[in-house]
């Protein structure tokens, strides 16, 4: 049983690392980006509301995330094995929501992993990834949004003594070797 939040700018490797550790340690990988992309593909009500924000590299309004995260954390696999949260929270209100929720459902977590990579390396990585929202204008916007809205979470979690730092400007294996210490 492990509960861990993965924090970091787009392209730091949160998703790749969380997915790999999820498979090796049998801990659910919960990516709000993946959940939202599926909703967009399936043209659900949530997907229709989220799509234009995602296409521009903006954050989807906080309110749209709350039910989704609550429902996901209540699933038996998360209750039983814990979670790797990837892409949530992304704003201070989302972090406050999460802290209230985990208190209510008794799913405490003690660590937030902050993965860091220099900006220019991130832009190059994201351009290579080639996802639908990975053209250069949108990438630069996602980075700006990250620094404005998500980076304040670093201080939020540092103040709670939960923050651990991982250097993401390394090979996938080297990053993983740093991360396994926290799983």
- Is 125 part of any known ligand binding site? no
- Is 97 part of any known ligand binding site? no
Shortest distance (Å) from residue 178 CB to ligand AMP: 21
- What single-letter DSSP state applies at residue 148? I
The residues binding ligand AMP (CB under 6 A) are: 10, 32-33, 36, 53-54, 57-60, 65, 87-88, 90, 94, 142
φ/ψ region of 153 (left if φ > 0, alpha if ψ in -120 to 50, else beta) reads alpha
Shortest distance (Å) from residue 81 CB to ligand AMP: 21
- Is 91 part of any known ligand binding site? no
Q: What's the Cα-to-Cα distance from 120 to each of 73, 117, 126, rounded to whole Å?
A: 35, 9, 10
Encoded tokens for 167: 């250097």
Closest to ligand AMP by CB, 74 or 181: 74
Shortest distance (Å) from residue 11 CB to ligand AMP: 9
State the pairing for strand pair 2-7/29-31.
Answer: unpaired
Q: Which residue has the tokens 């939040």?
A: 5
- Is 72 part of any known ligand binding site? no
Shortest distance (Å) from residue 56 CB to ligand AMP: 8
Closest to ligand AMP by CB, 136 or 177: 136
**Which class for 171: exposed (0-12), middle (13-18), buried (19 or more C-beta within 10 A)?**
exposed
- Is 57 part of any known ligand binding site? no
Closest to ligand AMP by CB, 9 or 163: 9
Closest to ligand AMP by CB, 1 or 68: 68
Find the angle CA(88)-CA(90)-CA(57) to the nearest 5 degrees.
105
Binding site per annotation, positions for ATP = 11-16, 129, 170
């Amino acid at each position: 049983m492990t509960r861990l939040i993965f924090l970091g700018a787009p392209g730091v490797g949160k998703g790749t690392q969380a997915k790999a550790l999820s498979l090796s340690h049998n801990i659910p990988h919960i990516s709000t980006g993946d959940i939202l992309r599926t909703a967009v593909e399936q043209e659900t009500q949530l997907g229709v509301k989220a799509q234009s924000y995602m296409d521009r590299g903006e954050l989807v309004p906080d309110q749209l995330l709350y039910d989704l995260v609550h429902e996901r954390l209540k699933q038996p696999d998360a209750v039983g094995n814990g979670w790797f949260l990837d892409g949530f929270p992304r704003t201070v209100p989302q972090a406050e929501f999460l802290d209230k929720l985990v208190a209510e459902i008794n799913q405490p977590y003690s660590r937030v992993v902050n993965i860091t990579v220099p900006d220019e390396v991130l832009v190059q990585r994201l351009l290579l990834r080639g996802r639908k929202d990975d053209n250069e204008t949108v990438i630069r916007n996602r980075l700006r949004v990250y620094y404005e809205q998500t980076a304040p979470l670093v201080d939020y979690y540092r103040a709670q003594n939960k923050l651990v730092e991982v250097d993401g400007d390394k090979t996938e294996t080297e990053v993983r070797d740093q991360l396994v210490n926290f799983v």
